[in-house]
Amino acid sequence: MRFLRRSLTGLFLLSLTLGLLAYAGVQVRDAVQDRMAQEPRSFQPRERIFAVNVVPVQFETITPELTAFGQIESRRTLEIRAAVGGRVVEIAPEFVEGGSVTEGEVLLRIDPTDAQSVLERVQSDILDAEAEQREADRALVLAQDELAAAEEQAALRERAFQRQRDLRDRGVGTAAAVEVAELAAAQARQSVLSRRQAVAQAEARIDQSTTRLSRAILAEAEAQRRLDDTVITAGFTGTLSDVSVVEGRLVSSNEQLARLIDADALEVAFRVSTQQFARLLDDAGKLQNADVTVVLDVFGTNLTAKGTLSRSGAAVGSGQTGRLLFATLDTAPGFRPGDFVTVKIQEPPIERVARVPASALNAANEVLVLAEDDRLEIVQVTLVRRQGDDVLIRARGLNGRDVVAERTPLLGGGIKVRPLRETGGQTVVEQPEMVELTDERRARLTAFVEGNTRMPAEAKQRILDQLAQGKVPARVVERIESRMGG
């Protein structure tokens, strides 16, 4: 009996389950048929509108500014070297790194003992040469007097010889006496020749003494220069750099001790491309005297100096391109040689160009222009210059129109936008289109918003406040009705 009762109970539960499943299947089938029998709801398509920043295009005459990077240099830089070797015995207090010195100021002294000794020895040689020259002069006078005496004696001997020959011709004298007189005359003539040779030697001695004196004077000048070279002075007013000597140190000849830089004669050297260099030439092909502004960025505090373009490099260096230019700075307080600076050069003015942000131009030199009904239009332009974050463009029929400042991949020709304009540094947003609602339409929209449980409370309250106004933004109404499905 128990088995029969349990079997009947199980059969009853199985039948009940099958009946419920059959009822559920019928309900699902009826719901699907009812859903398929209904007419499909149609949603009104809504065009997407993008908000874009626009800038007006105004053609005008603009002076472009060429920007480059360069390095400050000094037109006068002197290497202070030791002309003679020795021990440094005195150093000026200003002879330190960064010390300011004036022209002619004594910087340091090298031990002058050796140079002074050489100078004194050469001066002694000069005294000897002068004494030798005086002695040679006296010897020449004596030699000339001896020559005169020898010539007088030779004349007497010659007259005596003539007299003995006349006596022999008259038969009074003898041949032996004539021969003795002739021999005496010949000896007198030989004595004259000897005296003449002595005069020539005296004259040569004078020449030698003069040459010796000249050499001694030259040696004195050289010794004086070497003595003067022991004192090193500043060649011009400037600032010292790379100082590498202290008092008591031994220095060698031609050793560099420091560098003297003229901080008031600064210039900037910078490199530009060949195309930029061509724009800085005049009609005659010469470099223009364009104005230059040099800026040194010192952690937000900019140091600025004015100057003039002066010259260009004579040749292009190995492995380099473009052109090397130099600009002379007028006054540059705070600048030092070696500073890395930004150089801005004023180019010749360009007429009928407009300045727009560089983000408004694509790679094909096209811009998006605001046309009728706030739709975008693609316009081809000519790129004239790039100026930092801006570009200078030129196009026909573009003057006075609005151009999209920042292009995005979502923007293109024919797309409807909501323009945002800047006035006085503030962005002005155009007011949206407003519509008036009937009471029935307002109540239906309000009920839908209140019944939406997935909407945040803040957004729901904001939309309800807008619906409570006399006029409601059209885009808000369109968005709610699109979600309502009608």
pLDDT band for 427, please (50, 70, 90 cuts): very low
User: Do 279 and 323 sit in the same domain of this protein?
Assistant: yes
In a domain, 212, yes or no: yes
Task: Pull the structure tokens for residue 94.
Answer: 């200003």
Report pTM: 0.57
Residues 74-121 have pLDDT tens digits of: 888 888 888 888 899 889 888 888 888 888 888 899 998 888 888 889
Last residue of a domain, one of 185, 205, 229: 229
Do the beta carbons of residue 86 and residue 251 sit within 8 Å?
A: yes
Do the beta carbons of residue 170 and residue 250 sit within 8 Å?
A: no
In a domain, 311, yes or no: yes
pLDDT value at position 71? 92
pLDDT value at position 44? 52
- Please state, in angstroms and rounded to a whole number, the distance separating the CA atoms of residues 59 and 400: 8
Q: How many CA atoms lie within 13 A of 217 on its CB side?
A: 7
How many angstroms separate the first and last alpha carbons of the chain? Answer: 67
Last residue of a domain, one of 346, 372, 397: 346
User: Do 389 and 419 sit in the same domain of this protein?
Assistant: yes
In a domain, 123, yes or no: yes
Residues 463-480 have pLDDT tens digits of: 888 888 777 777 777 777
User: Do 137 and 221 sit in the same domain of this protein?
Assistant: yes
pLDDT value at position 485? 59
User: Do 130 and 219 sit in the same domain of this protein?
Assistant: yes
CATH number for the domain that contains residue 298: 2.40.30.170
**Distance, CA of 382 to chain centre:** 31
Last residue of a domain, one of 229, 248, 281: 229
In a domain, 2, yes or no: no
Q: Which of 302, 381, 375 is nearest to 339 (CA)?
A: 302
In a domain, 236, yes or no: no
* Residue 330 CB neighbours (<10 A): 10
Residues 308-349 have pLDDT tens digits of: 998 888 888 777 888 899 999 988 888 888 889 999 998 888
How distant, in Å, are the alpha carbons of 162, 280, 331 from that of 266?
95, 22, 8
Task: Pull the structure tokens for residue 160.
Answer: 């005596």
The residues near 435 (Cβ < 8 Å, ≥ 6 apart) are 471, 472, 473, 474, 477
User: Do 338 and 312 sit in the same domain of this protein?
Assistant: yes
**What is the rounded average pLDDT for all residues in the chain?**
83
How distant, in Å, are the alpha carbons of 77, 246, 331 from that of 259?
7, 15, 22
pLDDT value at position 433? 65
User: Do 364 and 341 sit in the same domain of this protein?
Assistant: no
**Higher pLDDT residue, 433 or 303?**
303
Checking if the pLDDT of 134 tops 80, the result is yes
Checking if the pLDDT of 395 tops 70, the result is yes
Characterize 123-155 residue by residue with b for buried, 16 or more Cβ atoms within 10 angstroms of its Cβ, and e for exposed.
eebbeebeebbeebeebbeebbebbeebbebbe
Mean pLDDT of 216-223: 89
Checking if the pLDDT of 215 tops 70, the result is yes
Task: Pull the structure tokens for residue 408.
Answer: 């995005």
**Distance, CA of 124 to chain centre:** 58
In a domain, 455, yes or no: yes
pLDDT value at position 43? 47
User: Do 327 and 358 sit in the same domain of this protein?
Assistant: no
In a domain, 371, yes or no: yes
CATH number for the domain that contains residue 123: 1.10.287.620
pLDDT band for 269, please (50, 70, 90 cuts): very high
User: Do 128 and 188 sit in the same domain of this protein?
Assistant: yes
The residues near 359 (Cβ < 8 Å, ≥ 6 apart) are 389, 405, 406, 407
Checking if the pLDDT of 424 tops 60, the result is no
In a domain, 324, yes or no: yes
Checking if the pLDDT of 410 tops 50, the result is yes
Q: What is the domain extent for residue 274?
A: 261-346
- Please state, in angstroms and rounded to a whole number, the distance separating the CA atoms of residues 472 and 466: 6
Q: For the chain, what is the domain count?
A: 4
- Please state, in angstroms and rounded to a whole number, the distance separating the CA atoms of residues 115 and 111: 8
pLDDT band for 151, please (50, 70, 90 cuts): confident
